[in-house]
Amino acid sequence: MQETEIQAIVQAVLAEINKRQGASQLATLVGGARENGLVIDLPDPTDEAARRAPGVVNPIDPEGLRALMAATPTRIGVGRAGPRPRTKALLLFQADHGVTQDALFHEVNPKLLEEQGLFVVESQVKDRQEYLKRPDLGRKLTEESKRILAERCVKKPDVQIFVGDGLSGAAIEHNLAKVMPVLKQGLQAAGLSIGTPFFVKNARVGLLNDVNSIVDAQVCILLIGERPGLARAESMSIYMGFRPKPDSSDANRDVVCNIYEGGLNPLEAGALAVQMIQKMIKYQTSGVDLKLVDKT
């Protein structure tokens, strides 16, 4: 058979498929509807009701299983098909993994940064792939970024606030507008001066050290997107340190984490961060040392 004849047959088959299975017809198939012999009988695996439905066949305690599944986002009670996951559980895992991947490569909306009055600087990372492979570069500012901060930032404030995308730009978009006003109002009410806020692209927590070497704040804090879990990409953290230095480590920092509507409420997180900042200034330290001296 000639190649042209094969192509003609393929085109004819595709035309017939498009005729019988148009977009409007395919939409009617979801949920088990039958059309031209094709049946799609799987519900949307990301639907919350479907997510919480037990996959174990004939459980000994059905109500107990449902209560246990409702108490945790952990993947329990999903059942098995022989040695393998059930189709619904596998599809949900793949969908949730897709959410995680999207969060890792999601860029924070410039409009949000503009609304919050944040100008943008960068770490030494060149692109997102390098960000994932070279955490060390995400802990350092570029020379140009250092110059910009030196020119635009207020020096020696009580508190320096800055924002970084971290491992989830989506987390910043979900929480920043709620947390930032609480932080600013709380610090002002406490009589503390605030430095010039800004945003760092491809940021890691260690930037606290580099930033404070320029602004010289008493307390430096970073709002940053947390590592996304499966189907959980909107969780943010607030890292804080008292006078971070080039050799400061995690032991010298404090953190308020798991900030999102389903975890620690963003408004409560902002208020908690202000309380911790006040303690840092009172005791002139942070991290492990702060826990040793603060008995409240």
Which residue ranges form the domains of the chain, and what is each CATH number?
110-293 (3.40.50.11240)
219 or 50, greater pLDDT:
219
pLDDT digits (tens, 9 = 90+) for 81-112: 888 888 888 888 888 888 788 888 888 999 99
pLDDT digits (tens, 9 = 90+) for 239-269: 999 999 999 999 999 999 999 988 899 999 9
Residue 159's identity, in one-letter code, is V
Residues 264, 258 contacting (CB under 8 angstroms): yes
Quick one: average pLDDT of 15-34? 52
- Write down the pTM of the prediction: 0.77
Say what the pLDDT of residue 186 is: 95
CA distance 29 to 38: 8
Residue 22's identity, in one-letter code, is G
Would you tell me the crossing angle of helices 143-152 and 207-215 to the nearest 10 degrees? 40
pLDDT digits (tens, 9 = 90+) for 108-146: 999 999 999 999 999 999 999 999 999 999 999 999 999
Residues 236, 171 contacting (CB under 8 angstroms): yes
